[in-house]
Structure 1
Amino acid sequence: MRIRKTPLIIPSQPLLALGLEGSANKLGAGVIKHSPDGSTTVLSNVRHTYITPPGEGFQPRDTALHHRAWVLEVIHDCLTHADVSIRDMNCICYTKGPGMGAPLQSVALVARTLSLLFDKPLVGVNHCVGHIEMGREITGAQNPVVLYVSGGNTQVIAYSRQYYRIFGETLDIAVGNCLDRFARVINLSNDPSPGYNIEQEAKRGKRLLPLPYTTKGMDTKANGNGDIITPADLCFSLQETVFSMLVEITERAMAHIGSKEVLIVGGVGCNERLQEMMGVMVQERGGQVFATDERFCIDNGIMIAQAGLLSFRMGHYTPVAESKCTQRFRTDEVHVAWRN
């Protein structure tokens, strides 16, 4: 990425960005507007999800085929809902990574093509930073500890000196991936998502089964001592244990940096029980929890447009010849030039 050391561009007229997201099974396109008065407006946010049968995950090749089949329709609907043309865009933003290789490449190819056809600057965006910046914009959180919890990433993050620093992260698989795998084991539906269905099942659970509080790659077996263990009890126990770990490490980060705010982002961030548990902890510290609904916490194109346009306004862009994707693109590698 080429960088010009210029201050944040204050537009004399509205700036528009198209964001394309396809790092996993969610294909999204969104248009965002930054106005001269400093306000931000979401003009459209369209998404289509690749859903597999119960008990099955989604493979990179099949997910990429889904994105290729739906991407033109999703972009068309996005522009139609926003009542704008691709020619009105100031830049086209796409997910550079992290994510699944084949789906990332499929969407990046479309972004490159649009950039060349309509002579628009291209901006590669870190998926994780997209979640954070959209969360900050929607909730108004100023300087929060960020709990980023999704299918592919689980990180506790805080901002310092124009970088998002990672205070803790899962050592084996992300929490979202853990929930997805467990949903397959007990044959829960993938529609609308495994994590959502675990959440609903957990609401019916009544028994808290003892599970290891720290699981560094170990398999876990729940022992019911001869009693019947229901899927609802398993879902309830898994959520309570995993979310307790997330709350604890988030509280440590809050104490370390002296923050009173927590921002929860990522697909698992929609979970009401996680928000409730985090809320109890933060309230005891005299703070506040910020979270978004499924429109913005689940992977979407508008978060890529928001982070991309912020970067573009700093003079950053991605030459087409350098517009590669990467499955490993860490949050703390990104220069967050737009924050002081």
Structure 2
Amino acid sequence: IFRPEAGQGIHPREASRHHIENSASVLSECLKDANVSVQDLDIISYAAGPGLGPCLRVGAVVARSLSSFYKIPIYPVNHAIGHIELGKLLTGARDPLVLLVSGGHTMLLSFLNQQWRVFGETLDITLGQLLDQFGRSIGFASPCGKNIEELASASSNYVTLPYSVKGNDVSFSGLLSATKSVSEKSKTDACYSLQETAFAMISETVERALSFTSKKELMIVGGVAANKRLSEMLTDVCKRHGSKFFVVPLQYAGDCGSQICWTGLLESQVKKGVLLKDTFVTQSWRLDSVKVDY
């Protein structure tokens, strides 16, 4: 896993170089652990987006090479949908309202007419970016969510911060700037207040979406799903609405190959793989633009 230095974000060039240098060994290790060879594979799926372009291209090149050489069908996968599909598999959720919160997404989603529909999202930075950018400003290395959660648990002193919910969308940029100012006096109070404010904003939008959709399940996926305080607040929301609460297991909350493998397998049940000339990488590939046939 590529990990930047403390106080630094992920640089696309450095991350892609890491992927290039490690792709062969990671592939060999995975095949060895699964006790299979490439020839045993029925399909090859890869993350076509959204994400950092240089990193996505490394994965696409590896997938194309294997597909071409071994004549195995290839499937481009939307990695955000991968979060959702693996979450449903592991939690047993059947028809949930989905909260996708990560470094790349902050979205409330419901499935309707073969597409994921958005019932609220961020208007600027994501929840994951909020936590990481603030964490880096006080010296943590990305991802910073766990460090912020630990510091927040050491305080109960709430400092008033900007709370911005517009319709059913959220805005975190003002909250980030204000929290940086608070951190100059107390990092623990800043972490506590940041979590309480941001998660309250998310909880408000979830509650409104549950009321509108009448869903009886809420599932949270994405890297920020690992935060226990967020789960506590959303559990309370679900209790008020008589809805079941599901959270993806910690080890599968962040981006992982299992999401891409499983979603590719689902797609292979209803369609053939794409031609190599039709494979692609799209940095900003919105999941609500994807038709889901399976």
TM bracket, shorter-chain basis: over 0.9
* Aligned counterparts of 1:228 and 1:167: Cα–Cα separation in 2: 36
Task: Tell me, in whole angstroms, the C-alpha distance in 2 between the residues paired with 1:332 and 1:110.
Answer: 27
Secondary structure at 1:337 match in 2: coil
Whichever structure has more strand as a proportion of its residues is 1
1:337 paired to 2:293? yes
Q: TM-score, normalised by structure 2?
A: 0.93
Matched-pair contact (CA < 8 Å) for 1:264–1:290: yes
TM superposition shift of 1:316: 3.9
Supply the distance in 2 between the matched residues of 1:147 and 1:83 (Cα, whole angstroms).
35
**What's the offset of the Cα at 1:111?**
0.6
Match for residue 317 of structure 1 among 266, 270, 273:
273
In structure 1, the residue corresponding to 2:177 is in which secondary structure?
A: coil
Q: Deviations over 1:49-72 (max 9, x none)?
A: 211111111111000001111111
Does 2:69 match 1:117? yes
Corresponding residue to 2:160 among 210, 213, 216: 210
- Is the CA contact 2:51–2:283 (under 8 Å) kept in the aligned structure 1? yes
Q: Does 1:103 pair with 2:55?
A: yes
1:56-67 alignment runs, 5 A limit: 56-67=8-19
1:216 deviates by 6.1
Partner of 1:131: 83
Q: Deviations over 1:146-186 (max 9, x none)?
A: 00000011100000011110111101111101111001111
Structure 2 residue identity aligned to 1:315: K
Identity %: 38
CA deviation after TM superposition for structure 1 residue 228, in Å: 8.0
Distance in 2 separating the partners of 1:260 and 1:173: 29
The answer (yes or no) to whether the contact 2:159–2:189 under 8 Å persists in 1 is yes
1:156 partnered with 2:108? yes
Quick check: 1:211–1:220 contact (8 Å CA) kept in 2? Answer: no
> 1:20-44: per-residue Cα shift (whole Å, max 9, x none)?
xxxxxxxxxxxxxxxxxxxxxxxxx
Q: Which residue of 2 aligns with 1:294?
A: 250
2:24 aligned with 1:72, yes or no? yes
Residue ranges of structure 1 left out of the alignment (5+ in a row): 1-48
Residue 245 of structure 1, CA deviation: 1.0
Q: Would the alpha carbon gap of residues 228 and 301 (structure 1) be closer, same or farther in structure 2, given more than 3 Å must change?
A: closer
Aligned partners of 1:293, 1:232: CA distance in 2, in Å?
27
Looking at structure 2, the residues matched to 252 and 244 of structure 1 have their Cα atoms a distance apart, in angstroms, of 12
Structure 2 residue 259 is the aligned partner of structure 1 residue 303: yes
Aligned to 1:208, what secondary structure does the other structure show? Answer: coil
- Is 2:172 the partner of 1:220? no
**Which amino acid letter does the alignment assign opposite residue 244 of structure 1?**
A
Q: 2:2 aligns with which of 45, 50, 53?
A: 50
Counterpart in the other structure of 1:237: 193
SS of the residue aligned with 2:47? strand
Alpha carbons 1:55, 1:186 under 8 Å: kept = yes
In 1, Cα distance between the equivalents of 2:217 and 2:200?
A: 18
Choose 77-86 or 209-218, whichever is displaced more.
209-218
RMSD of the TM alignment (CA)?
Answer: 1.6
Tell me the matched-pair count: 286
Q: Whole-Å Cα distance in 1 between the matches of residues 29 and 203 of structure 2?
A: 38
The answer as to whether partners of 1:136 and 1:142 remain within 8 angstroms in 2 is: yes
Tell me what 1:283 maps to. 239
